[in-house]
């Protein structure tokens, strides 16, 4: 079980940065649009209030998970300090 994860190469995605880039990218949890998760402490399941969809029948808004919002929509460009 553990040997598989140890041999898996580390890959970089749009939601991660190398050590040398730390400080040059905004952190979602510090953004005023970040909605923390209601249950648990895993910030990846928080939501972004800038990226969502409204149901045209009942008006309910469903916000995108912060990880998906960062990777596919925002890329840190909609960040606003709290």
Using pLDDT thresholds of 50, 70 and 90, give the confidence band for residue 12. low
Domain presence at residue 79: no
| Structural domain boundaries enclosing 26 | 2-74
Residue-wise pLDDT for 21-75, tens only, equals 667 788 899 999 999 998 888 888 899 999 999 999 999 999 999 999 988 888 8
Domain count, the chain: 1
Three-point CA angle 70, 78, 60, nearest 5°: 75
Using pLDDT thresholds of 50, 70 and 90, give the confidence band for residue 7. very low
Domain presence at residue 58: yes
Quick one: pLDDT at residue 15?
A: 64
Quick one: pLDDT at residue 77?
A: 85
More confident residue, 69 or 5: 69
Domain presence at residue 59: yes
């Amino acid at each position: 079980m553990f040997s598989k994860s140890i041999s898996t190469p580390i890959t970089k995605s749009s939601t991660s940065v190398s050590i040398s880039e730390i400080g040059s990218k905004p952190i979602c949890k510090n953004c005023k649009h970040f909605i923390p998760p209601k249950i648990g402490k895993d910030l990846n399941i928080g939501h972004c209030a800038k990226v969502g969809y409204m149901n045209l029948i009942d008006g309910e808004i469903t916000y995108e998970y912060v990880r998906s919002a960062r990777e596919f929509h925002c890329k840190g460009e909609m960040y606003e300090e709290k």
